[in-house]
Structure 1
Amino acid sequence: MTLNFEASTVLDLDWRRDGKYLALAGYQGARVWNAKDWDAEAEALDIPSATVAIAWSPDHQFIAEGNLDNTLSVIE
């Protein structure tokens, strides 16, 4: 299977602990896929700096993104 990720290069990824969602980080932002049908559920693209790290919060409510410009973004 191939996922279409416009950021072209995956710099980091994180599975949600329950295995239902996969979050990917890349040069143009982040995207979350539903692992059941592989539909894109959410995206944060067109950011000023590449997203180089991504992680789910323990309660699955938030995603933290570490950006190349030394900033941190939290997505709800």
Structure 2
Amino acid sequence: MNAVHDTMARQGLVRPRDGRMLGGVCAGLGRRFGLDPWIARLLFVLILFIIPGSQILIYPVLWVLMPSEATDYSPHTPPTTW
């Protein structure tokens, strides 16, 4: 599974930390292809009307396969508290 995550991350297919609605799949696809997340979501819904049911299968698969965007802190240093 790590190989799939690495491949998708190299191609720019990651679920962003910000701008998520559900899992961040449409926001990640929009970012990858240079679209606003709302346009990607709208296209997703429009394709649902053209090919009913396909997105119900595709979205969860992409949710699992697309890695989440990396965090900004190192796992070896504890986060600071204020």
Does TM, scored on the shorter chain, surpass 0.5? no
Q: Would you tell me which structure has more helix in proportion to its own residues?
A: 2
Structure (1 or 2) with the larger CA radius of gyration: 2
Higher strand share: 1
TM bin, normalised by shorter chain, reads under 0.3
